[in-house]
Structure 1
Amino acid sequence: MEAKLQQLLCISPPAPLYFMSWRACNFCMSFFFALAAYVQINDPDAGIWIVAYLIPAALSFLVGLNPPITENFIWKSLSEMHMYMCSMVATLWGWYLLRYAKNSIFHEEEGREFLGLVIIVIWLLLCRHSGKYLGGYRLSIAVFITVLPFITWLYYYINKELRASWPDHCRNTI
């Protein structure tokens, strides 16, 4: 039935290179989220942020192992619940930053937390139904989003002036 639908809509199954690239992106994002959870250790509210990053790390790792897992009820439920929670907190932080931010959002701790939540939400949205529907457009966005946090982290690591105004618990991370 599904093969006939694909033929009718002229959808060709994704090439093996697509799946390998998608799996690699998920393993990289799993590593990124795990690293983000690790650097939260010295944060005053570490417990919340460690859990916030470990859930997408585990979900991404599972997608890297088996992309069709995104159609599993437990995976979908956990990802959607986490995505909604992150969206609500990101909305609150965004409103707070819009009203009260004194500096660039990168200089505000809430701004960095906001960006982390946005990355989580976007990544989980990309993962939805990726076991069934994986195309070049989704894969291109995934590669971009996979590379972006690592480049940003490297930029912060190299640019010591940017980190000078950060609190001690933010400056003493990786």
Structure 2
Amino acid sequence: MTNHQNITKSKRNLNIVLSTMFSLFAIIQLNDPDPTLWFSLYMIVALVSIISNYTSIHRIIIWVLIIGYSLYASRYFFYFFDWLNTEHKEEIFGKMVYEKPYLEGSREFIGLIMAIGALFFQVGKKDTH
């Protein structure tokens, strides 16, 4: 049986949601100062999610992506930590403030953690239905 035949309806639906969500994240990044990087990072997750509904993606490829995204996320961890120690956490939802680089760094860290989570979903236990 192929992965397409083994995948449960709930996993297939969640893959559609993940693909849609990360495609939207990618599109939003087009106004970022470095749009190519962030568009690519999010679009890769969107493609992995939707392709997984139709064919099996080798786990090594997904693990390489997880490791790469994790290494890149580690670059932003201390910004996230700085944000956690601020008094006004709601600022993360506001505009980018150049005097507060931890805001953009935290957003990028959170986005990467979400992408890593979506990739981990793809290496989860194989469906048997």
Short-chain TM bin: 0.7 to 0.9
Q: CA deviation at 1:64?
A: 2.1
Call closer, same or farther: CA 1:55–1:98 in 2, change over 3 Å: same
State whether structure 2 residue 95 is matched by structure 1 residue 112: no
2:68 corresponding residue in structure 1: 85
Q: Structure 1 length normalisation: TM-score? A: 0.56
Greater CA drift, 98-107 or 87-96: 98-107
Q: Which of 18, 25, 31 is 2:14 aligned to?
A: 25
Considering only aligned residues, what root-mean-square deviation do their CA atoms show, in Å?
Answer: 2.5
Mapped partners of 2:117, 2:44: distance in 1: 14
Give the count of matched residue pairs.
112
Question: Where does structure 1 lack aligned partners over 5 or more consecutive residues?
Answer: 1-15, 136-174
Q: Which amino acid aligns with 1:64?
A: N
Question: Where does structure 2 lack aligned partners over 5 or more consecutive residues?
Answer: 1-5, 94-102
2:99 corresponding residue in structure 1: none
**Which whole-Å deviations, capped at 9, do the CAs of 1:3-55 have from their partners, x for residues lacking one?**
xxxxxxxxxxxxx8x70111010011011111110111110011110110011
Q: Structure 2 length normalisation: TM-score? A: 0.73
List structure 1 segments (4+ residues) > 3 angstroms apart after TM superposition: 99-103
The 8 Å contact of residues 23 and 65 in structure 1, kept in 2 or not, is answered as no
The 8 Å contact of residues 69 and 116 in structure 2, kept in 1 or not, is answered as yes
Matches within 5 A, 1:22-171: 22-66=11-55, 69-70=56-57, 72=58, 76-99=59-82, 103-104=88-89, 106-107=92-93, 108-130=103-125, 132-133=126-127
What is the percentage of aligned positions where both structures have the same residue?
Answer: 25
Mapped partners of 1:42, 1:31: distance in 2: 19
Q: Which has the higher contact order (CA 8 A, sep 6+)?
A: 2
